[in-house]
A and B are shown apart, each in its own frame.
Chain A
Amino acid sequence: MRRFKEFIIEKIILLSGFACILFVILIFFFLAKDGLALFKFSSPWNFLFGTLWSPLSEPPQIGILPLFLGSLIVTIGAAVISVPLGMACAIFIAEIAPKWMREILKAGVELLAAIPSIVIGFIGMTMLSPIVKHIFHLPTGLTALTGSIALAFMAIPTMVSIMEDSISSVPRIYKEGSLALGATHWQTIYRVIIPAASSGIVAAIMLGIGRVIGETMAVMMLTGNASVMPHTILAPVRTMTATIAAEMGETVRGSEHYFALFAIGLVLFGITFLINFLADMARHRKNK
């Protein structure tokens, strides 16, 4: 009887494992089926490197380069802001803050992670964008930079909690060994603790960036939604995710435009897949 129970449980776990993989594969095929259909209308080269996104003109112009660059600028901006801030925050929580403050900060970071992205978009729109507009004397405060800042705050909680975990789990004997050699606390942090935690830190950065790339709601509200080739971070841009979200509702099923949106989805899928893969590599580098 007990044997039988074990058997059933084992099979259920096996099944759910397979189900997960199956879903990923199904999603991929679903995307690929409609996404690749685009290439009946246009070539992959024109799709990936075309500089004009104007699906409603006649004939439709389907080039995702401006959208890709929009995503890229927003993502790089968010990374530049969130990585140093997240690192500093994680180091402070794990190494410097006194015990009572550590608990409060960790709870705070988790709370930040729980804020829905629409709320961040809302705050960004009403508070952040006027500031950006004012500081840089822009015609509009809805720019790539505005999106980057808001996204940075969405990436930071993920980054901080994973980084903090990996810094805290650096064995105590490394820290003691370093201090016993006459190193200062700060030297110990950047010469021993951070290198020892580096695989976790890299993974944290990758996952944070993954979240930024996939984010839709806040960028749609904050980046100005102009699908033109961006020249500076202070220009309005439109990301790939925002394009799909904004246009899916108004496209005709089976049209070139419709397939193009799926193709964008396919590109996004590829990018996030790559990033997760790199994060995994980083995490396992330690036990090579």
Chain B
Amino acid sequence: MSKIETKNLDLFYGTFQALIDVDLVIKEKMITALIGPSGCGKSTLLRALNRMNDLIDGVKVTGKVLIDGKNIYEPGTDLVELRKKVGMVFQRPNPFPLSVFDNIAYGPRTHGLKDRGKLGEIVERFLSRVQLWDVLKDRLEDSALDLSLEQQQRLCIARLVAVMPDVVLMDEPCSALDPLATQRIEELMFELKKDYTILIVTHNMQQAARVSDWTGFMLLGKLVEYGETKQVFTNPQEKQTEEYITGRYG
């Protein structure tokens, strides 16, 4: 089943074209990795899928992005609904300067849940989901900014899945973490794959090879190659892909 489909997607920052005719089909409950050199448009593509680029002045998008068959760039699209469904984890962990509890409860609260008991259950459930409950259950009122970077990133993931999205977009979620923490976040991604469609941007090719089912290789705003991860890494169809994954690029 395809969850997300982009069709002839072009994106301009002012006059600069950052995405050129991208056609991408993302399968449900799989991990899809986007790789490519710096500045090729990976983050831009990711942010086009939940319309975070709308926040930047002068962005123009043409083409379609279908999520569950509906074009999210259609006029009248409800951005709140879209972003509830398509959530995002950022490169730098960005817990709010609030308590651990209030961070997890943030999404449910903004979407109307007030009952403190229910919020408590949600906090426990989603902190457990990212293996933080045992460590943090006595520190729920501490500021989230006092946690370690890895814990902060886990907290951000928990905060996101507490909104019950379908799709989780991750923009280099491990780039601020050490190798061990990275490995543990990868394990968490495997675990989350059961319930969510995950898209991850990464600079780390081993990571893409380890965690993803599908891989897309981008270059200068174009999606050069897209296929099953094993095939892309062992038998790339395009010369540029081969050059990049064997480290001969540029």
- The reply to whether A181 and B97 form a contact with Cβ atoms under 8 Å apart is no
Judged by a CB distance under 8 angstroms, whether A191 is at the interface is yes
B96, A196: Cβ atoms under 8 Å?
A: yes
Do A174 and B110 have beta carbons less than 8 Å apart? no
Residue of A nearest to B85 (CB): A182
Does B55 interact with chain A (Cβ within 8 Å)?
A: yes
B94 partner residues in chain A, CB cutoff 8 A:
171, 173-174, 176-177
For A99, what are the chain B residues with a Cβ–Cβ distance below 8 Å?
Answer: 57
Residues on A with C-beta less than 8 A from B189 are none
Question: Any chain B CB within 8 A of the CB of A54?
Answer: no
Which of the residues A176, A179, A195 comes within 8 Å of B97, measured between beta carbons? A195
Interface-side segment among B30-38, B76-84, B201-209, B218-226: B76-84
The majority secondary structure among interface residues of chain A is: helix
A114 is an interface residue with CB less than 8 A from chain B: no
| Contact among A171, A179, A181 with B159 in the assembled complex (CB-CB below 8 Å) | A181
Nearest CB of chain A from residue B201's CB, rounded to whole Å:
14
Contacts of A182 in B (CB 8 A): 80-84, 87, 107, 110-111, 163
Knowing A191-B106, A191-B110 are in contact, say whether A180-B96 is a contact too (CB < 8 A): no
Q: Is the CB of A174 within 8 A of B97?
A: yes
Min C-beta distance of A194 to chain B, whole Å: 11
**Nearest-CB residue, chain A, relative to B107:** A181
B90 within 8 A of A: yes
1/0 contact string of B24-53 vs chain A (CB within 8 Å):
000000000000000000000000001010
Give the residues from 74 to 105 in chain B that come closer than 8 angstroms, CB to CB, to chain A.
80-84, 87-88, 90, 92, 94, 96-98
**B92 adjacent to A181 (CB under 8 Å):** no
| CB of B65 closer than 8 Å to a CB of A | no
With a cutoff of 8 Å between Cβ atoms, the chain A residues found around residue B55 in the complex are: 176, 179
- Classify chain B's interface size: 20 to 34
In the assembled complex, the CB of A179 is this many whole angstroms from the nearest CB of chain B, namely 7
Known: A195-B98, A196-B96, A196-B97. A181 touches B110 (CB 8 A): yes
* B156 with A177: CB separation less than 8 A: yes
- State the Cβ distance, B120 to closest chain A Cβ, in Å: 19
| B92 near A173: Cβ-Cβ < 8 Å | yes
**Which residues on B sit within 8 Å (CB–CB) of A181?**
83-84, 87, 106-107, 110, 159-160, 163
Q: Do B110 and A183 have beta carbons less than 8 Å apart? A: yes
**Cα–Cα distance between A250 and B55 once the two chains are bound (Å):** 63
Contacts of B109 in A (CB 8 A): 191
Cβ of A184 under 8 Å from chain B: yes
CA–CA, A173 and B55, complex, Å: 12
**Chain A 171-207 interface 0/1 with B at a Cβ cutoff of 8 Å (1 = within):** 1011011111111100100011001100000000000
For A196, list chain B residues within 8 Å (CB). 96-97
In the complex, which residues of chain A have a beta carbon less than 8 angstroms from the beta carbon of B80?
182-184
CB contact under 8 A between A176 and B52, given known A182-B84, A182-B163, A195-B97: yes
Question: A121-163 interface mask toward B, CB cutoff 8 Å, 1 = contact, 0 = none?
Answer: 0000000000000000000000000000000000000000000
A98: nearest chain-B partner, CB-CB: B57
Question: 15 more A-B contacts (CB under 8 A) besides A171-B94, A184-B80?
Answer: A173-B92, A173-B94, A176-B94, A177-B94, A177-B96, A178-B96, A179-B83, A180-B90, A181-B84, A181-B110, A181-B163, A182-B83, A182-B110, A183-B106, A191-B106
Residues of A within 8 A of B (CB): 99, 171, 173-174, 176-184, 187, 191-192, 195-196
| 20 CB-based A-B contacts, threshold 8 Å | A99-B57, A173-B90, A173-B94, A176-B55, A177-B96, A178-B106, A180-B87, A180-B90, A181-B106, A181-B107, A181-B110, A181-B163, A182-B80, A182-B83, A182-B163, A183-B80, A183-B106, A191-B106, A192-B98, A196-B96
